[in-house]
Amino acid sequence: MTEKNLNRPLEGKTAIVTGGGTGIGLAIAARFVEAGASVLIAGRSKDVLGKAAESIGAVAVPTDVTSEESVKALITGAVSRFGGLDVIVNNAGVTGQVAKAEDLDIGQWDETMAINIRGTILGIKYAVPELRKRGGGAIINMSSLMGLRGYPMRAAYTATKFAVIGITEAVAHEVGVDNIRVNALCPGAINGELMQRVIAARVKAENRPAEEIIRVNYTDKAALRRWVEPEEVADVALFLASDASSSLTGERIKVDAGRM
C-alpha cells in the first residue's frame, strides 16, 4: 500500500453515515472525509444536518431511517450521485426511555425499536445489492456495551442493541461470499450531549447528584478512568471501513476505555 493510500485509505470510495449530524455519527463522517471518501450524512433534522455537512465537506440527505422509502431513496441517491456505494454506517439511534420495565411508555418503546432496529436492517437491505455491485464493501452497525450485557432502567435501549449484534452476526454469514464485511461497534459511555441527556434522566429517576452518577457508574468503572471521545470511536470505524480490517467480519468491537 502506498503512503498516499495509508493516509487516505478510503480514497475514491463512497460512504453513508446515518445519524451523521451530531455526536459519534458526525465524528465518523468527518474521519471518513479526511480519509478520502465521498460521504453522505443522513438524519431527521434538516437544519442540523445541513450545518454539519457543510462543516466537514459531506453531503446532507434528510432521511427517516424508519421509512423504507426514505432509506431506499438515500441509497439510490448516493449511487446516482457518486456512482456506487462502498461503506454504510448504520449509526442512527435513540437512547430510549430511562425507566424501570414496569414504568415504560410503550409508545416510546416502539419508537426506540423502530429507529434502532428497523433503521439498521433497512440500511442493510438496500446497501447490500449496491455493495455487491462494487465487488464488496463494509457495513458497520452501531451497537453498544448494552448490546453485550443488560443494564438496569435501560431495557428498551438494551433490547435494540442486543438485536443489532444478532443482525450483524447473521448478515455477516449471508454476504461474506460477496466480500461484504459486517461488523458492530460497541461504544461505552461517550462524552457528549447524548450522554448528558441520559445523566439528566438518571438524576431525576434515581435522586442522586450527576457527579456521583458519572463517577460511580461510568468513569470509575473504566480502566482508563475517563469517558470515551466520539473521535476515538471514529478511528475504529475507519479501521473497520478500510482494507486494514479485510479479514474481520461478524465481530463486535468494544470502544469503552476498559469498562469493567
Residues marked active site are found at: 157
Q: Return d(Cα 56, Cα 39) in angstroms, integer.
A: 9
Q: Return d(Cα 77, Cα 42) in angstroms, integer.
A: 12
Residue type, 167: I
Q: Characterize the bridge pairing of strands 137-142 and 180-187.
A: parallel
Cell numbers representing residue 177 in the block? 461470499
Asked if 249 contacts 181 with a C-beta cutoff of 8 angstroms, the reply is: yes
Cell numbers representing residue 163 in the block? 438485536
